[in-house]
Amino acid sequence: MQSLIVFLLVGACSCYALWTLMPTSARRTLAVGMLRIPHLPRRIEARLQKSAQAASGCGCDGCDRSEKKPAAKAPAQQTITFHPRTRR
């Protein structure tokens, strides 16, 4: 039983690493092919749909499609104190 769990865990991690390190064009082609499989779970289908779309080319991976984020709060003011070192 333990060997089966290890096998499944290593297999899943290998698939994740392969998908992450795969070139975008190969990932897109594979995602389009996998979308042809009938009865995919909605979560997997949504993730594949995102991967199957062509990138915007701006290098930001689709950030122009995200919702606008509220303005960040101003950081708290900090006082920096420099202490001179004594020479020996």
Which DSSP letter does residue 84 get?
P
Output the CA torsion 2→8→13→18 (10° steps): 150
What is the pTM assigned to this prediction? 0.53
Helix (H) or strand (E) holding 22: none
Compute the half-sphere exposure of residue 66: CA atoms within 13 Å on the CB side of its CA. 7
Instruction: Name which of 64, 67, 62 is nearest 49 in CA terms.
Output: 62
> pLDDT by residue (tens digit) across 31-85?
999 889 888 889 988 888 888 887 666 655 555 555 666 666 767 788 888 888 8
- Taking alpha carbons only, the member of 17, 20, 49 closest to residue 36 is 49
Instruction: Give the model confidence (pLDDT) of 5-34 as tens digits.
Output: 999 999 999 999 998 899 988 999 999 998
Residue 62: partners with Cβ closer than 8 Å, 6 or more residues away: 53, 55, 56
